Structure 1
Amino acid sequence: MIELIKALVLGFTVGISAALIPGPMMFATIGISMKKGWKAGFYVFSGHALVEFAIFLLILMGAASIIDKSIISFVAIVGGVVMLLFGLVTIKNAKKASGTDITASASKLNASSGPVSAGILTSVLNPTLIIWWLTAGSAIILQEYMAGIFAVITFIIGHWIADLGFLVAVSSSFSKGKNLISQRTHEKVLYICGGFLTIFGFWFLLNYNDLSAMI
């Protein structure tokens, strides 16, 4: 049960940390919601989840076929470094990210595509997302896989709860012409999420031998 709770918290933290940083998917959600209402967030998430589901399957297929101690140690170290750096960058850029005029940025984005396709395109064409799942994300999935498939599913559920909840909240707020949260609150949440990711990154680096010993 403790492992499942940890997986859920980690999945949610990773999801909300990435979601809170202004980027193409957030801008697309805002732009589309201004035209099509609050449901835009749900449909953008659907496209995003399809891409991530494919990535999760590829990671799990690879884990099941090539898993060994040296690979686990390597993935854990690389994943830990990337997670640590991601956390530190999130903390460093929290003030700047929270001060972004996302409404103005969203208005510059072409939101003529459908919301599902927008979710797919802003995910597939986002190099940060791909790099994350090939490094830190793979390390997390691999670790949860060794704890059991239910741990993997719980991590994914936690991650998608964060993604879905945030995108629907964004589309609901901006479709009514309101900001989701204040700049100060946004900044504080980014600091907290960055701190959590930094801690998890250190944990992976300190326990990579323990992970490889599990097989």
Structure 2
Amino acid sequence: MSWIEFLPMVVVVSASGVMSPGPLTFATIASGSKKGWKAGPSIGLGHLIVELPLVLVIAIGAAFISSLDLRWISFGGGLFMVVFGFLTIKGSKEDGQEGKVLRLSGHPVTVGIGLSSLNPYFLIWWATVGAPLVIIAMDMAGVLGVGVMFASHIWLDFLWLTVLASLGSRGKKLGRFYPYFVAGLGLALVVFGITFILRGFYGVTL
């Protein structure tokens, strides 16, 4: 796989996790309503403090399992992508999420750390959907490859959290289009999952 193929995949797969509704999404909107758009980058920093060590742990693990049959790694990662894709599509239809927003009084960085480290979906996403991306990056260029992959992912976190905080500061909601947007990301995740499986076992892509 070339970098031209890999980096767009990282961005799209990352978007499926970054932009899916969850505790951090609505906490950022709530925080933005009180602290303005600057709450977004602050929450992003807290998120990064949790996420970077997690990615490094996965990369270290990848160094030990690099001798394993990559077909099964591709299959496992692809299967989880398909499952999470369908769960994302299903979750996009759920209503009433705005009512779950908490009026947070803590510092945004603390909010980012707390809601990231205590979010099972976030941890499972990296252990399953994100792990194959780390493994591929490690295989392509070692630690440098992981750094490029992480940079291609983390900017989306900061951008999206800043947008959410900005919307919160203006008292706006994401609108009716958001569920469809999330469903589209879920569908993209399903497609990439199938691609991982086909590439691993048959050397072909969709």
TM-score, shorter chain, exceeding 0.5? yes
Q: CA deviation at 1:142?
A: 0.5
Asked if residue 147 in structure 1 is aligned to residue 140 in structure 2, the reply is yes
- Equivalent-residue separation in structure 2 for 1:210 and 1:61 (angstroms): 28
Distance 2:169 2:6 in 1: 33
1:9 alignment partner in structure 2 = 8
- Alignment-mate amino acid for residue 162 of structure 1: L
Q: Identify unmatched segments of 5+ residues in structure 2.
A: none
User: 3-state DSSP class of the match of 1:95?
Assistant: coil
Contact 2:31/2:168 (8 A) holds in 1: no
- Give the counterpart of 1:168 among 144, 162, 168: 162
Structure-2 separation of matches of 1:124 and 1:199: 28
Q: C-alpha displacement at 1:14, in angstroms?
A: 2.7
Pick from 95, 110, 123: which aligns with 2:116?
Answer: 123
User: Residue in 2 aligned with 1:192?
Assistant: 184
Q: Which residue is equivalent to 2:88?
A: 90
| Counterpart pick for 2:105 among 105, 112, 131 | 112
CA distance in 2, matches of 1:168, 1:6: 28
In 1, Cα distance between equivalents of 2:159 and 2:2: 23
Shift of 1:169: 0.4
Task: Specify whether residues 189 and 6 from structure 1 end up closer, same or farther in structure 2 by C-alpha distance, changes over 3 A only.
Answer: farther
CA contact (8 A) 1:17 1:190 kept: yes
CA distance in 2, matches of 1:23, 1:76: 27
The root-mean-square deviation of aligned C-alpha atoms, in Å, is: 2.1
Return the offset for 1:4.
Answer: 2.5
Task: Give the structure 2 partner of residue 156 of structure 1.
Answer: 150
- Which AA in structure 1 matches 2:15? I
* 8 Å CA contact retained: 1:13, 1:196: yes
Give how far 1:110 is off. 4.8
Tell whether 2:127 aligns with 1:134: yes
TM-score normalised per structure 1: 0.84
| Cα distance in 2 for residues equivalent to 1:123 and 1:200 | 25
**1:38-72 deviations in whole A, cap 9, x for unaligned?**
111101011111211001111111222332123x3
Summarize the Cα distance change of 1:210–1:53 in structure 2 as closer, same or farther, 3 Å threshold.
farther
Do the aligned residues in 1 keep the contact of 2:66 with 2:139 (CA within 8 Å)?
no
**3-state SS in 1 of match to 2:54:** helix
Q: Which amino acid aligns with 1:154?
A: V
- Displacement of 1:210 after TM fit? 7.2
SS at match of 1:182: coil
Distance in 1 (alpha carbons) for counterparts of 2:55 and 2:138? 11
How many pairs are equivalent?
202
Identity of aligned residues (%): 33
Of 59, 75, 78, which residue of structure 2 is paired with 1:77? 75
Gaps of 5+ in 1: none
Shift of 1:85: 0.7
Q: 1:122-153 CA deviation, whole Å, 9 max, x = no partner?
A: 11111111112112211121112212245433
Which residue type is aligned with residue 105 of structure 1? K
Alignment-derived partner of residue 68 in structure 1? 67
